[in-house]
Amino acid sequence: MANMLSNKEPWDLVAPGYTDITMKMFRIYALAALDLIQTQRDDHLIDIACGPGTVAVEAAPRVQSIEAVDFSQAMLDKLHAIIKDKGISNIHPRNSDCQHLPYENEKFDAAISLFGLMFFPDRIKGYAEIYRTLKPGGRTVISSWAPVAESNGFQLVFGTLRAINPNIPEPQTEIESLENPEFFKSEMEQAGFKNVEIHRVTGEIPFTNADDFWNDMVRANAPIAMFKNSMSEDDWTVKNQTAIEHITQQTKNKPKALQAHAWLGFGVK
């Protein structure tokens, strides 16, 4: 089934909210990816499907240079603003579809795709492009989410989406997807990577109260933002109310830790 998150429009739409909210939330995964890849000072790194630079900005003090590539210009504009604001000189943003990386063979020491390659319609091409552009011995980390059923944070997000849009099916755990660490490992091995290890990393979706949680989701979550965009303001007002009631009921509106488990796949060329 076509995944709307394989297109750039939803990412253009949420770029501001994503930068304010999700980028902070994903910092824990970015740091785990950089630790796993064992960055070296003279590394040339590529951040594939970089968004506003969640990995690139953390990597900047650790490596020599970073090519930060994404097909959403709105995300890249946010990265440009961060680079300017922080005075970073070794991140080079570039607009491209990452299923075709605009770089020569064996250019990079390390490649990270944090919650990016998982959306490519041709994921095998995504791995192949990482493999092609890595030097022999180059390291990669690619991430994906663990099944929704294992993360109370994602259960709340999907449950709320289903409360306002009953057409959305209940999330099923798919054996033949990157949710399954054995499948993930075998896909990376088939792409040619050696020493493949899949690590579990747990992040948190902040929850203080139902209103703030939902408002953040509407700004930063691409499927929710697209759903809002598809309807009139009056219809959205009703959905908004339903969403907040659902979240209040599920959480008793008390601050809590909402977990989001991810898989980080490490491999060597």
| Smallest separation, CB 252 to ligand SAM (Å) | 30
Q: How far is the CB of 149 from ligand SAM (least distance, A)?
A: 20
Q: How far is the CB of 113 from ligand SAM (least distance, A)?
A: 7
Distances (CA, A) of 68 to 29, 33, 93: 17, 15, 5
Judged by CB under 6 A, the chain residues 69 through 98 that form the site for ligand SAM are 70-72, 75, 97-98
Q: CB-wise, 21 or 244, nearer to ligand SAM?
A: 21
Residue with smaller CB distance to ligand SAM, 80 or 256 = 80
Provide, rounded to whole angstroms, the least separation between the CB of residue 212 and ligand SAM. 21
Q: Is residue 115 a contact residue for ligand SAM (CB under 6 A)?
A: yes
Residues sharing a CB contact under 8 Å with residue 169, sequence separation 6 or more, in sequence order:
none
β-bridge partners, 199: 264
Partner residues linked to 231 by β-bridges: none
Q: Which residues pair with 65 in a beta bridge?
A: 44
49 lies in the site for ligand SAM, by CB under 6 A? yes
Q: How far is the CB of 234 from ligand SAM (least distance, A)?
A: 30
With respect to ligand SAM, which residue has the nearer C-beta, 210 or 223?
Answer: 223
Per CB under 6 A, 17 contacts ligand SAM: no
| 116-145 residues near ligand SAM, rule: CB under 6 A | 116, 119-120
The residue with its CB nearest to ligand SAM is 51
Out of 34, 37, 45, 50, the only residue in the binding site for ligand SAM (CB under 6 A) is: 50
Please identify, using beta-carbon distances, which residue of 118 and 244 lies nearer to ligand SAM. 118
When asked if residue 263 is in the footprint of ligand SAM (CB under 6 A), the reply is no
Unique residue bearing structure tokens 């899949």: 198
Decide: is 154 part of the binding site for ligand SAM (CB under 6 A). Answer: no
Q: Could you tell me the smallest distance in angstroms from the CB atom of residue 46 to ligand SAM?
A: 12
Interface residues toward ligand SAM, by CB under 6 A: 6, 8, 11, 23, 26, 49-51, 54-55, 70-72, 75, 97-99, 114-116, 119-120
